[in-house]
Structure 1
């Protein structure tokens, strides 16, 4: 990987400089296109299940099948990402998703779909996504010079988030205009575009030198790399807590509390405000390059407490929208600086496995949170539990900054 020392301080290294590199353009085009399609499908799939006469419980089974498959295969995806060419992982996964999503679209359009069949195919899609995601996250470093890694991570995150925002909006329009099946067909088409982009990549082979032993041995090596960085261990725990507590607060309590206190439309507005916060946070990361980026990101992560707290205190629409925006803003900046810290400090041959441990922590915690939030919140009170959620999210982020490794870690291109 070539580097240009002068570029680290040169004004030529601008916000969009990474786009001058064809491999980076292909990577972000593929990932952003997939993100757009993946935002359409959950909306379309939900209505497809309901149109089949499925209940809320059956819809939950379809979604859970996808989530369970992700948990099972994420670590294996990390091992493969360090064993074989990552480009092949991305290209193969996207090509396979063209077939599986195309099959779902045909079944729904033709009237042959059933809820169990959609659950099975959803599980297959979950496996395909989890197998490729560690490789996708690890690929950024191979597409730009080292001096452009910071802007590249920020720009990729911004483009994917923006694509998701568009996908959420387009998904509802497509379902209303042409039906759930055709909306899922659009997702299949986005995977075809992504597969083409990934096939055009010309990046170095990124296989680990010694990654040919047993899978458990390779996973053990990846775990030892995680444990070698105390900041990485602590913030993986922080991510687990975030998904454990906020997953249920967002998906279970939010619609109930905001819907009853303000109105159902207010919940949709709050999700939109959070997405705007993501985009603004991404734009800030294109310009702001603090030397101690991980510390700055972790401090701003504490802002995520604003959303559940706003919902807890007998909310008004303005308060909830502000809390949602601040939540998205802080989370996006943390995520960019977190990704950059991993990219800069984890060896290339272990990068996919480290990302797989990051994914598993999130995948495992969120379903557990969804399962436990309802009973616990009912027992202690919905508003009271939202206060607890806010305290855990904000307090744990601030406590994380007390670790010396978090405070002292400096970005390489500062």
Structure 2
């Protein structure tokens, strides 16, 4: 009788995903565009520094540019709600890729024409982000459309792992390319990767209209209404919002902790983020093997465990302890998006899923920036290390509260809560 090792890779939970006749043609395009976005993390702020008017603080324009590259997707969820609700996953993701490619390509074109200013730059970044929540919703909807329920978590993990790999490889690659050709041409490469992704959606998937479009006059906020009416989805959204918000101050506290408390250089800060990224990549690969675990309990457990892993940083542990702990935090963090998306996929009909996921993404895209904004005054008031400790303790408390609320509900099924059903089915 063949062993699991002998049957690998067919015994892997990822085999049905990577061998799917349609998904396997989309995954390379997703990987290429993710790499482009990984490079944009460095290129976007670097070009903002170059375009910022002389005599003005660069930090302000960096913050504005980075916010413009993500935050407008929240507005796009509402603005385009009536138009996009009920569209198929590939169509939504494809339109997002087309808009991203067009708006980002306009940046090097404006540079060549000599008309690229910081204001135009920010406006084009904002335009590129308008459909981002719908595009993300489209990708996870495509998973629900093409795969049976038992393969949703591994498929979500594949998408998350692609993104995690890009965050490790993209920034250093961008640094090299910026030294050769400048940041504006790295953004041009990012635009080309989204054009390749759009072409992939067009050619790799059969043309169809997807689910029936919603009726004329449908609410722009229909996705928010579905979440509000489903206690399970509302609780999951609140948990995710709190989790991401409480992690936001870490982006402010970490650099100051490195410089002021540890008296170290940016090299050590880079080592922490690299360790987190490597842990995240490993955790993303492991996520697919959690498909037989109760997803709700696993999702809440991730929050608690992540907060515990962050405690050594806040407690002032030596680098030899806190650095591996931060890598462990990345390992624990990585499966969260996969498990939470699987809960949405199992708790919502395919027709409603794009609007629901877009609404979820519109809210969550604001969570980390708001937490980061809180980090400035918080670090100023209590210091960087106490801020890290407060974030870790608050995340643990959030998870424990969510667990205490969820436990009494496990024995009773909530209306429309398929997430409860999957707990019994997965046993």
Query: What TM bracket, shorter-length normalisation?
Result: 0.7 to 0.9
Match of 1:219 in 2: 221
Match of 2:73 in 1: 70
1:271-323 deviation per Cα after TM superposition (whole angstroms, max 9, x unaligned) = 11111111111121233333312212321222222465333223432233223
Match of 2:156 in 1: 153
CA contact (8 A) 2:40 2:187 kept: yes
Alpha carbons of 1:228 and 1:206: their partners in 2 closer, same or farther (altered >3 Å)?
farther
RMSD: 2.5
What are the within-5 Å matches in structure 2 for residues 271-286 of structure 1?
271-286=273-288
- Counterpart selection for 1:206 from 207, 210, 235: 210
What are the within-5 Å matches in structure 2 for residues 8-407 of structure 1?
14-54=13-53, 55-76=58-79, 80-108=83-111, 112-200=115-203, 201-202=205-206, 205-208=209-212, 211-216=214-219, 219-220=221-222, 222-250=223-251, 252-260=252-260, 261=262, 262-306=264-308, 308-402=310-404, 403-404=406-407
| Separation of aligned partners in 2, 1:45 and 1:73 | 21
1:78-118 deviation per Cα after TM superposition (whole angstroms, max 9, x unaligned) = 65443333322222222232222122123346654211111
| Separation of aligned partners in 2, 1:135 and 1:383 | 39
CA contact (8 A) 1:91 1:198 kept: yes
TM-score (normalizing by structure 1): 0.88
1:113-155 deviation per Cα after TM superposition (whole angstroms, max 9, x unaligned) = 2111111101101113234222222111122244433322222
Alpha carbons of 1:290 and 1:407: their partners in 2 closer, same or farther (altered >3 Å)?
farther
| Separation of aligned partners in 1, 2:408 and 2:391 | 26
Alpha carbons of 1:375 and 1:321: their partners in 2 closer, same or farther (altered >3 Å)?
same
TM-score (normalizing by structure 2): 0.85
Alpha carbons of 1:122 and 1:332: their partners in 2 closer, same or farther (altered >3 Å)?
same
| Separation of aligned partners in 2, 1:22 and 1:172 | 36
1:210-264 deviation per Cα after TM superposition (whole angstroms, max 9, x unaligned) = x224343x624x33432344332122111111222211222x1111112331332
| Separation of aligned partners in 2, 1:14 and 1:126 | 33
| Separation of aligned partners in 1, 2:15 and 2:207 | 20
Name the SS for the 2:62 alignment partner. helix
Name the SS for the 1:290 alignment partner. coil
CA contact (8 A) 1:401 1:407 kept: no
Alpha carbons of 1:68 and 1:380: their partners in 2 closer, same or farther (altered >3 Å)?
same
| Separation of aligned partners in 1, 2:116 and 2:27 | 33
| Separation of aligned partners in 2, 1:404 and 1:237 | 16
Larger fraction in helix: 1
What stretches of structure 1 of length at least 5 have no aligned partner?
1-10
Alpha carbons of 1:102 and 1:307: their partners in 2 closer, same or farther (altered >3 Å)?
farther
